[in-house]
Chain A
Amino acid sequence: MPEKIFAPWNDPDQKPLIRFQNVTKKFGDFIAIDDLSLEIYEREFFALLGPSGCGKTTMMRMLAGFETPTSGSIELAGKNIVPVPANKRAVNMMFQSYALFPHLTVWDNIAFGLKRSKMPKDQIAARVDEMLKLTRLGKFARRKPHQISGGQRQRVALARSLAKAPKLLLLDEPLGALDAKLRQDTQFELMDIQETTGTTFVIVTHDQEEAMTVASRVAVMDEGKLIQVATPDRIYESPESVYVADFIGDVNIIEGRASKQGEDLYRVDWAEGQAPLVATSDREFSEGQTCHLAIRPEKIAISAEKPAEADNAVQGSILDIAYLGNLSTYHVELPGGMIIKAQTANTRRLSRRSFTWEDTVWLSWTATGAVLLAE
């Protein structure tokens, strides 16, 4: 029996934990969130991704209760929480700056929220110890925040926001201050913790790789609007717009005119004197409609001879080679001046690389390797 995949967003019987309904937030005349509707389900690890100033923090602050929407409603477990003040919401936030109380020890920081509830003393101690163990901070319980490292502080902030076992945990760029290695470790730690505690996480990040790693679903935002909400693989493999394709990862965009060639198959005329390209698409395009072909560099093969059975093949000369350790990215200039990026794994030693600068090469990809987008 196949394991059941976690995908409550596809299940019409599931009730969302959070529901934004036509939420608009204005600061003066400025529209920070623009008529946005969104549903987030229990146990999800939901990532908000988008350029600076697109309204990610504003979304979080509305969930936490620090901002009220100008219009629209926000529901948590079926109840409108807009009138509920921050201290009465079953939502906790891990602040970007951590916001640890500098005058309290690590232990007291974690116990802070518990002490505000009516929990008996011995239960508080037990809960704090549990949190310390979960975040591996036992040794530092008696230290003050300024006596521990950045990574440890970040774990204290996480432990503190988890201590009250909130229905929803908000993380605003939680890993921004960490170096790459620690960041990666912490991402996996976060996923572990999310799984063991069963808490719903909403995470804000600038880092698309981070969003792809940790999230069950990713929302790509721009200027207060949601552009696409989908699982990481769908966001990457089948973006719905050039904006999303361009925002997530590296991509080649070729503009052209579509014409139908068969069931789900389109021909794209893209440059004078070049053979047309073909691509499959389940989206409908009218005859001659302007379209954009998005191709990921790793989907493009590079070869010296023209491949015999490729759906698409173009010729160009190598302009530049970026060596990334495990991968190399070739920048290939086509006769019309367009530059296409192709990526290959470096399975052989650098000195035995088959292509070098100025070599004439063929680039090829399959009809299903590219995504055809209207805009």
Chain B
Amino acid sequence: MMRRFFLIAVPYAWLLALFLVPFIIVLKISLSDTALAIPPYVPTVEWGQVREFLSQLDFENFVWLTQDDLYWKAYLSSVQIALLSTLMTLAIGYPVAYAMARAPEEWRATLMMLVILPFWTSFLIRVYAWMGILSNEGFLNQFLMWTGIISAPLTILNTNAAVYIGIVYAYLPFMILPIYATLDRMDASLIEAAEDLGCSRVSAFWLVTVPLSRNGIIAGCFLVFIPALGEFVIPSLLGGSRTLMIGKVLWEEFFNNRDWPVASAVAVILLLILIIPIVLFQRNQQKQAEAEP
């Protein structure tokens, strides 16, 4: 009895400490007013005076978010960028995962290593490296000019294109790994059965391989979409001034404007937006677990 209680209590305590408590703090700040102080908002709470604190709360920060169209535009553009880059990641990740799953047995561990290898260096350093690649004097432009494809350098850095490249690059492993896992588990005789029943290679792929890797595709898409939506580092380093993403707005509200309450309100809304795909993702995982024979 006691043991079971502890077993259940540990993950819940973890969630409570690392998710719920910070969220309540952020929620509390979002319901406060800005002030020139440290920390830069009132009311701050002494936990003894909860009733008084509650009476001072107000929702003007949330109202504010609906009044300045910067915010909803940023949300919308984030969703768009996240969605599009998820699709691009899928378009690149699926063939890679497919090739890995079809590669000779003895190569697979190496290929898997190569996919995970980028995680061995800091994310920030890798994004900086892309600045070096994509800038006007960067490797990509030098290479393209050397081959003679272009005569003047392309402006890629500080545009949305660079953001897409950055996101696709950074999150590709999260797309490849779950898809690879489903493809690897797939019984190769299913493809033979499909061909035996009259399918060409191509139609066997669409009718059997793709539906059977559905769970991997869904998992990969969520694993890319969810963090991409709130992404801050990539748009601020690779994107331009016109790149509008909510993660960047959030950062600017916090550190440039020092308007913690509005920034917190932005974060709370972002979380609410993310809850929808997260719940869908959970449901998919659960259904998958139930469908396992």
Contacts and interface: CB of A to CB of B under 8 A. Distances in A.
A164 B197 contact: yes
Contact of A99 (B192, B200, B203, B207): B192
A71 B99 CA distance: 31
B193 A95 contact: yes
A171 interface: no
A140 interface: no
Given A66-B192, A97-B187, A101-B208, A113 B293 contact: no
Contacts of B199: 87, 116
A239 to B, nearest CB: 34
A79 interface: no
Interface string B37-55: 0000000000000000000
Contact of B198 (A97, A103, A117): A117
A177 B211 CA distance: 27
Interface string A149-171: 00000000000110010000000
A86 interface: yes
Contacts of B151: none
B196 A103 contact: no
B212 A103 contact: yes
A102 B193 CA distance: 12
A92 interface: yes
A116 B206 CA distance: 13
B197 A116 contact: yes
A88 B197 CA distance: 9
Main secondary structure of the interface of B (DSSP, over half): helix
Nearest to B198: A116
A161 B196 CA distance: 9
B189 interface: yes
A178 to B, nearest CB: 17
Contact of A92 (B197, B203, B211, B291): B197
Contacts of B194: 101, 112
Interface in A92-108: 92-93, 95, 97, 99-103
B189 A86 contact: no
Contacts of B189: 95, 97, 99
A151 B205 CA distance: 28
A184 B278 CA distance: 51
B50 to A, nearest CB: 53
Contacts of B193: 93, 95, 99-101
Interface residues of B, number: 21
A160 B198 CA distance: 12
Contact of B195 (A87, A103, A164): A87
B190 interface: yes
B75 to A, nearest CB: 35
Band of interface residues on A? 20 to 34
A101 B190 contact: yes
Contacts of B195: 65-66, 85-87
Contacts of B208: 101
Given A101-B208, A102-B212, A103-B211, A93 B291 contact: no
Interface string B185-227: 0010110111111111001000110011010000000000000
A164 B192 contact: no
B190 A99 contact: yes
A136 interface: no
A65 B192 CA distance: 10
Nearest to A117: B198
A26 interface: no
Contacts of A214: none
Nearest to B190: A99
Nearest to B208: A101
A64 interface: yes
B293 A87 contact: no
B182 to A, nearest CB: 12
User: Considering residues B196, B199, B211, B293, which has the most beta carbons from chain A within 10 angstroms of its beta carbon?
Assistant: B196
A113 B196 CA distance: 8
Given A87-B195, A103-B212, A146-B293, A116 B203 contact: yes
A87 B198 contact: yes
Contacts of A64: 192, 196
A66 B194 CA distance: 12
A92 B293 contact: no
A95 B203 CA distance: 20
Interface string A76-94: 0000000001111001110
A97 B198 CA distance: 19
A95 B198 contact: no
A112 B192 contact: no
Contacts of B291: 144, 146
A154 to B, nearest CB: 14
Interface of B: 187, 189-190, 192-200, 203, 207-208, 211-212, 214, 291-293
Would you list the 7 A-B pairs with minimal beta carbon distance, nearest first?
A146-B293, A113-B197, A116-B198, A99-B193, A99-B189, A86-B195, A103-B211
Given A86-B195, A116-B199, 13 more contacts: A66-B195, A87-B196, A91-B196, A95-B193, A99-B190, A99-B192, A101-B193, A101-B194, A112-B194, A116-B198, A146-B293, A160-B197, A161-B196
12 contacts: A64-B192, A65-B195, A66-B192, A92-B196, A99-B187, A101-B208, A103-B211, A112-B194, A112-B197, A144-B291, A145-B293, A160-B197
